[in-house]
Chain A
Amino acid sequence: MAALFRTLKAASGGSLRCLVSAHRNQISKVERSFRVAAVLRLSDESKQEETPPHYSSSYHKHYQASAPEPETEFKNTSYAHQSGEQEEDYETEEQLQHKILTAALEFVPKYGWSVDAIAEGAKTLNLSGAAAGMFNNGAGDLILHFVMQCNSDLSDILSEKHKQIQLGQIEPLKTDKFLREAVETRLRMLIPYIDSWPQAMSILLLPHNVPESLKHLSTLIDDIWYYAGDRSTDLNWYTRRAALTGIYNTTELVMVQDSSPDFEETWKFLENRVNDVMNMAHTAKKVQSTGEAVVQGLMGAAVTLRNLAGMNQRR
């Protein structure tokens, strides 16, 4: 895989750039960039005599080398242009994917959540746009990456606050205020992409994306409740998470069609929903204590009747 991406980088730096784009158009739905490299190799063999002499020998050496050896001549031409970028020879595929997707996010406002945005992101890393073919799920991968990134950012923010509270630097918040702040912080991360977010939401609803998006959602909600102080080990664990999931999803839906300045309506809606849930919990507690009092009253009445009837004496 590492040799593959070096190939792609080499290709983009040389005269084969036009060949890459030509072949990319032909194989627009290529599943793996391996196929792209194979095609490049074929085209290179056919066009060997046409390439300028000072490139051909290096390409020959590059393609024929079975073990990935750093070609110093090549390194100077391609790496010299990348000022400040690190050596990527031994990067894992996951790290590279992460980098490409992060770079792709800045093109989302222009290209939407699509493979084009990923291709543009790959280009900023001096990779061929065909590198977008490495993502089987296309736009879904980009969105899930974004969601995962936001969730981990929120988790960092919450754990930082939690540490400060434990050190006594700031006061702990009441539960409803904490939930409101956490959900608002997380939803504010969507603001730069809010115009295209309905498209992202609909892509996340596709059947093959649903399991992973649900997993991210449940991790997010669990994190928020954990830092809000929930340590329950009974059915409350489930009811609380279900309630917060409902709050988060409905607030997200309100946010995408909110046009008020700085989304004031959305935060008001969030406040109302959180208050609703708190009221329900208080009402449930009141019902329980009323129930207890009623049962006590009935028991007392039963005992009185038994006493009156003389049935309570031990003979």
Chain B
Amino acid sequence: MGLPTNLPRIEQFVASRFFCICSHYYGRGSRQRQQVQHTSLRAYNVVPPARDSTEKAMMDRMLRVDHAGEYGANRIYAGQMAVLRRTSTAALIEHMWDQEKQHLKTFIELMAENRVRPTILMPFWNVAGFALGAGSALLGKEAAMACTVAIEETISEHYNSQIRELMEEDPERYKDLLELIKTFRDEEMEHHDIGLEQDAEMAPVFWLLKNTIQAGCKAAIFLSERF
């Protein structure tokens, strides 16, 4: 980002927030535009080409909400890292964040290959995700872990329901996509377990935190599928 890293934590936090807002609106798009005529790095497309408009609509909806979910998870971990950078849990959060970055990269590729419309709520998830991550981290390390537990539980449930939907449709046809979603779901479950190990349940009003965050997450999934 070009930020001097010897700045005190709060100034860095504010500066990086400002940069993120600007670059997400304009920078990322033009950087992506530079990758104009490349085909995907993979030799095949994980998603089979749609046979009719209903299948295309279903695929679009699934990819759109998964992309939005991974993007939001990225922003949440970014928020947590911004606050907890100098603490002992930083390494763990960094590890989980790296895996989310991989997931997001995969979904961006799938979106581009299948010409899927991204959700129009992207800027909102950008801000809301970072705010949630930073807010929960400011309440303490256990609250940050509680946030992780809540999010990852909802995301795993969501992936499970997508797996069920694809299995009901045609397990053979969507074999590769099912493999992918299963891998991602397993990694999200792993994050959930890490969160529990790290004393998430010791967070202040854990049950309230968990339920509010899960309700918000489910609303986000509902909206991203449609808009």
Interface size for B (C-beta < 8 A) is: 35
Classify the secondary structure of B's interface with A.
helix
Q: Which residues of A contact B24 (CB under 8 A)?
A: 234-235
Chain A residue nearest to B30 (CB atoms) is A285
B37 at the interface (CB under 8 A from A): yes
For residue A281, CB closer than 8 A to chain B, the reply is: yes
A232 to B15, Cβ gap below 8 A?
A: no
A233 touches B67 (CB 8 A): yes
Tell me if A231 and B35 are in contact (CB < 8 A): yes
CB within 8 Å for A235 and B25 given contacts A175-B33, A281-B30: yes
Binds A, one of B110-118, B144-152, B215-223: B110-118
Contact A234 B122 (CB under 8 A): yes
Question: Per-residue 0/1 for A284-314: is the Cβ within 8 Å of any B Cβ (1 yes, 0 no)?
Answer: 1101100110011001101100100000100
Interchain CB contact under 8 A, B29 and A232: yes
Q: How far is the CB of B3 from chain A (nearest CB, A)?
A: 8
Q: Please, what's the 1-or-0 string for B1-21, where 1 marks a CB less than 8 Å from any CB in chain A? A: 011100110011001001100
* Interface: B108 (CB within 8 A): yes
Interface presence of B44 (CB below 8 A): no
Which partner residue on chain B sits nearest A230 by CB separation?
Answer: B33
CA distance A155 to B73 in the complex (A): 37
In the bound complex, what is the Cα–Cα distance between A230 and B12 (angstroms)? Answer: 33
1/0 contact trace for A230-246 toward B, CB 8 Å?
11111111101000000
Contacts of B164 in A (CB 8 A): none
Are A303 and B7 in contact, with the CB atoms below 8 A?
A: yes
Q: Which residues of chain B come closer than 8 Å to A237, judged between CB atoms?
A: 117-118
- Known contacts A295-B18, A299-B7; decide if A285 and B122 are in contact (CB<8 Å): no
Contacts of A303 in B (CB 8 A): 7-8, 11
CB-nearest residue of chain B relative to A237? Answer: B118
| In the assembled complex, A165 has its CB within 8 A of some CB on chain B | yes
Contacts of B22 in A (CB 8 A): 287-288, 291-292
**In the assembled complex, A226 has its CB within 8 A of some CB on chain B:** yes
Q: Is B11 a contact of A299 with CB atoms below 8 Å?
A: yes
**What is the chain A residue whose CB lies nearest that of B116?**
A233
Point out the residue from A230, A288, A300 that lies within 8 Å of B27, measured CB to CB.
A288
Residues of A within 8 A of B111 (CB): 233
Residues A229 and B37 in contact, CB atoms below 8 Å apart: yes
Given contact pairs A235-B24, A292-B22, a sample of 9 additional A-B residue pairs in the complex whose CB atoms are under 8 Å apart: A231-B35, A232-B32, A234-B24, A236-B26, A236-B30, A237-B117, A284-B26, A299-B7, A306-B8
A-B contact pairs, 23 of them (CB 8 A): A175-B33, A229-B36, A231-B33, A232-B28, A232-B32, A233-B108, A234-B25, A234-B28, A234-B29, A234-B118, A235-B29, A236-B25, A237-B117, A238-B120, A281-B30, A285-B27, A288-B22, A291-B22, A296-B15, A299-B4, A299-B11, A302-B11, A303-B8
